[in-house]
Structure 1
Amino acid sequence: MVVIRQNATIDWTLRKNVQAKMRVNIKRLLKRYGYPPDKQKMATRNILEQAEIVCRDAAVSAD
């Protein structure tokens, strides 16, 4: 989650360039810790989806 927090902006779920930067950082992190290369694409997608849910839930609870 540190990678997500460091790159998250207010509208990161809408900005493709911010999402691309996050994907690159997530892939680097997965590679560093020996995650299988053939499963990185799915893992990256899952991580971004989970981050969107966490951010959306945090925004709702802040209201």
Structure 2
Amino acid sequence: MRTLVISDIHGCYDEFNALLTRANYDPSEDKLILLVDYVDRGQKSKQVVAQVMNMIKHDNITALRGNHD
């Protein structure tokens, strides 16, 4: 089992998903920890928040809230 840690997504939905793909993230095999700042700056903050909430519910990830959230 790998532990993947990602921080400062800042509304960059496409880049976030590209990173998950590049890392071959597998929720059944990997532990994902998201560190702070899901919104602000990027154009797709709403999509990032929806995805993170869905991942918390279905993939049992850990997501910490940041100063922009």
**Smaller-chain TM-score range?**
0.3 to 0.5
Structure in which a larger fraction of residues adopt strand: 2
Report 1 or 2 for greater relative contact order, CA contacts < 8 Å, sequence distance ≥ 6.
2
Q: TM-score normalised to the size of structure 1?
A: 0.34
Give TM-score, length-normalised by structure 2: 0.32
Specify which structure has the higher proportion of helix: 1
